Chains A and B, each alone.
Chain A
């Protein structure tokens, strides 16, 4: 481990991790609603990782959660800091990962991640997806648990991503996702139905 790459994490490790965990919980409980991390609870930026992604990594990862890194995040600085502050093992095989850190270029192929099993669907891999922004894409209508009628969400994602998500969703097995940009996060659990094809949009 290269000690020169290390940098501080949360200012208050216990409370800031709890606040970030709370934000993640709310994001998954109310899919499609954007949550912003307060300035005081943000960790300092880490090379390539936005504040929200960094905060979720620090709050969610530990020695029991193998992490898969996409090529964009597989840098010495990120590896050294996650190993130091979280102690999480970093795996090269997608199926061994409990969490995965992805960037936009990886979203056309979600194959290989653990979807959990029928007895323990909670053992699936959770995807942390960092995007340039959480708006600006086609506005889609989200329905399902945690949404009263519908949420309009305009994530900058391609149809290829939504097809992949559909292909890897076999309820109760499936993938839960967090979309992260800057200081904002937004949750998309496997139970949310997204009207993404032409007929449903009409």
Chain B
């Protein structure tokens, strides 16, 4: 598949990714702001399975890693903007909040939502990632081989 090059698509991909990785109660803190709009559930939050595929390196053949649970939701605001969400796990309220966030982020107040919602979430995720990487790096083992000096 060709990677998306349209900047509007890549920025939306980024915030949908950030919303999908938002942990537990992080979205709940914005619940009142997110729900402060008239909206309609086009597809009420529903739980299903999706197949995860992977491949070894850039040239390996694709294989099925396994199935995982996802929750998806689609909402529409009164002005016709639709928000979509796909989250890992079985948390329906969180899927609804993430879909609402996606809808708000496509509107005129995009900068406001990016600054108050997406950036803090992205920073928290980057921090968690860095902590995890640091914990992993501490267990790194270096292997040395002696130069045999054949030439």
Q: Contact residues of A with B, CB < 8 Å?
A: 3-4, 6-9, 13, 84-85
Contact = CB atoms under 8 A, between A and B. Distances in A.
Contacts of B80: 3-4
A4 B43 CA distance: 14
A13 B46 CA distance: 9
A189 to B, nearest CB: 33
A41 to B, nearest CB: 15
Nearest to A3: B82
Contacts of A85: 43
B46 A6 contact: no
- CB-CB nearest 9 A-B residue pairs: A4-B80, A3-B82, A6-B42, A8-B42, A8-B41, A6-B82, A6-B76, A8-B40, A7-B42
A6 B80 CA distance: 9
Interface residues of B, number: 10
11 contacts: A3-B76, A6-B74, A6-B76, A6-B82, A7-B40, A7-B42, A8-B41, A8-B42, A8-B43, A9-B43, A13-B44
Contacts of A8: 40-44
A9 B41 CA distance: 10
Contacts of A13: 44, 46
Given A7-B42, A8-B41, A8-B42, 16 more contacts: A3-B76, A4-B76, A4-B80, A4-B82, A6-B42, A6-B74, A6-B76, A7-B40, A8-B43, A8-B44, A9-B43, A13-B44, A13-B46, A84-B42, A84-B43, A85-B43
A9 B44 CA distance: 9
B85 to A, nearest CB: 14
Interface in B17-50: 40-44, 46
B146 to A, nearest CB: 60
Contacts of A3: 76, 80, 82
Interface string B64-77: 00000000001010
Contacts of B76: 3-4, 6
A66 B13 CA distance: 31
Contacts of B40: 7-8
